[in-house]
A and B are shown apart, each in its own frame.
Chain A
């Protein structure tokens, strides 16, 4: 018994040497979470601002000028062009120079003052529908404000003031949304993909047979391959939580111990997926594509990382139920932002546990088939 333990430790040490011998791998394993987090924190945002705007204003009067002035002074819009005619609007959109064009009608101000009504056309480049929707909503909101400021609103006897409170993320910082997904993505990358490649590599080079005839038991070989990545992923998780907290001031309202325990569970789950892939894939390239297509992209797109799950078609919503990252995402958000405890999270945790168990059993069975 002591002997096997000794052998296992030796094998794990050997695997660690393999990873650490090459500083490039290490640099990247540490560099990926840091650079990604900085990218998501400082660069990527789903907010819309600095929208490039063009105006066609044949009336050239005071009211339309004030309205344009009001739009550009909000910071959402940036006036890039005053059009001389409405002929070349199509060309401007085609070149991608502006996102929105405002077209005032002739005698805009005069019609407004005389008839109390004037028309304004708002053209939005909807090749990006999300931006178009937000841009047109902003514009309409600003026009509403403008009307109120200019006291054009007929005196309504009734007034309702809604007080809007943004919970859990008062400044609506998108990095708060990205951190949980990023953790899932990076832990999936390091633990599932790297471990599966590491095992498949031995297969491809034919050295797996050598390992199998050694006195190490198959389970030890798998453990030896997996343990180093377990630790590396955990370090990555720590880096992300620490950076999110210190650099981006993302709170950890719930228990840190619980958060780390859930991370550990998720890493374990990812590793079992990695082992499963390596039992199926014959070459590294195939292992990589299975992992990329089967794990990374769904983690990126189906887990609610960037796109909300509720908006997906029903089929994909069912599909996303199978994604471990989806549950992990919920868990991390709940612990960090809402401060929820295990009482709110027991079902997600149970699902992750059940999934890991399933994958472990499946890969052990596959492994046995291969050996017999």
Chain B
């Protein structure tokens, strides 16, 4: 035990001797929380709209007003030529064109009804979908108001009688930051744990100092514990630090017990550190650690539901996710922070991460060769 403590002391001194290391440990969470979290938002508002109005009637003007008066659209330009409008779409100045054909107002009262054309830039499919949904709601609104005003027919807002009341549970203002911050924290903890471990161990290899460690009377498990525990502590510290920033900067809710979160994170990190250790047994240079690590982290993170919904993935990918540790942490951190879930709710995740952590660690220790 004393040997281990001395070893830990040495490792910590070595890590913090480099002031820049300290900067990494502090700056990384700050940057991630303050920049990345704010960047991630799918919400669509203030979209630039270009209108081609060939009707120029009170009805068409009213329609355009309905659009530009809403918080979703702002009128970027009007034009009489479709080509001109489309060239604005091509150059990216606008994302949607509304074309009102001549005779729109007249057609409104015809049997067949009037038609409109909406051209949407659909490179980003989901944004396009949301935009056209908004636009169609605007058109319905216009229809209702127009009928009400011109025909003096009262039309109830909930035509047809079913009156859906929407409630957004856990995040009633649909604040994307509250969704994103936990995800970014998972990435943070994973990267810090995996990379720092892997690169530190391989650096010893590159420098040739592994040989020196190997000839010391230290036992293999002491050596590994001495290498891993500092990063385990640093990663947990960064999780706490990141949470603090998120709390101060944008009031990240913490519905659940933080003890639950940290207990889970401590167990999760055993698996992450083991992966770092394992990478170090494969890699000879730090460059390789970076590559292999990037490869693994990217796949884990992208398939773990950090940015995109898991349910939309194909069945086989969801089955593969059974072996994805990031996916479990992602679920746990969001459940605990946003929904207030407790130990009872996350029992299966806890179980998986324990099994994963222990088996990975055993495997990595066996792979790690200390010649003595």
Contact = CB atoms under 8 A, between A and B. Distances in A.
Contacts of B274: none
Given A127-B339, A162-B118, A51 B285 contact: no
Identify the interface centre among B39, B133, B143, B308: most chain A CB within 10 Å of its CB.
Answer: B39
Interface of B: 18, 20-21, 24, 27-28, 31-32, 35-36, 38-47, 89-92, 108-109, 112-130, 132-133, 135-136, 139, 142-143, 146-147, 151, 153, 155-156, 158-172, 174-176, 178-179, 191, 195-196, 199-200, 203, 206-207, 282-288, 290-292, 294-295, 298-299, 302-303, 307-309, 311-314, 317, 331, 334-335, 338-341, 345
Interface string A140-168: 11011011101011101111111111111
B28 A293 contact: yes
A177 B123 contact: yes
Given A127-B178, A133-B42, A288-B290, 17 more contacts: A28-B292, A32-B294, A45-B308, A129-B175, A136-B166, A139-B164, A143-B164, A156-B155, A157-B153, A158-B108, A160-B142, A163-B117, A167-B122, A168-B122, A197-B286, A285-B21, A307-B39
A308 interface: yes
Contact of B287 (A67, A162, A197): A197
Contacts, number: 356
26 contacts: A25-B291, A32-B298, A44-B308, A46-B126, A127-B171, A132-B171, A134-B129, A139-B164, A152-B160, A152-B162, A156-B147, A157-B147, A157-B151, A159-B143, A160-B114, A162-B136, A163-B118, A166-B132, A168-B121, A168-B123, A173-B125, A197-B287, A283-B18, A286-B21, A312-B41, A313-B38
A264 B46 CA distance: 35
Chief secondary structure at chain A's binding surface:
helix
Contacts of A174: 124-126
A38 to B, nearest CB: 10
Top 7 A-B pairs, shortest CB-CB distance: A172-B125, A159-B113, A147-B160, A126-B168, A166-B122, A126-B171, A129-B174
A301 interface: yes
Interface string A290-314: 0011000110011000111011110
Contacts of B207: 204-205
A143 B312 CA distance: 22
A128 B306 CA distance: 10
A365 interface: no
Contacts of B156: 117
Interface residues of A, number: 122
Contacts of A44: 302-303, 307-308, 313
B294 A162 contact: no
A227 interface: no
A283 B200 CA distance: 11
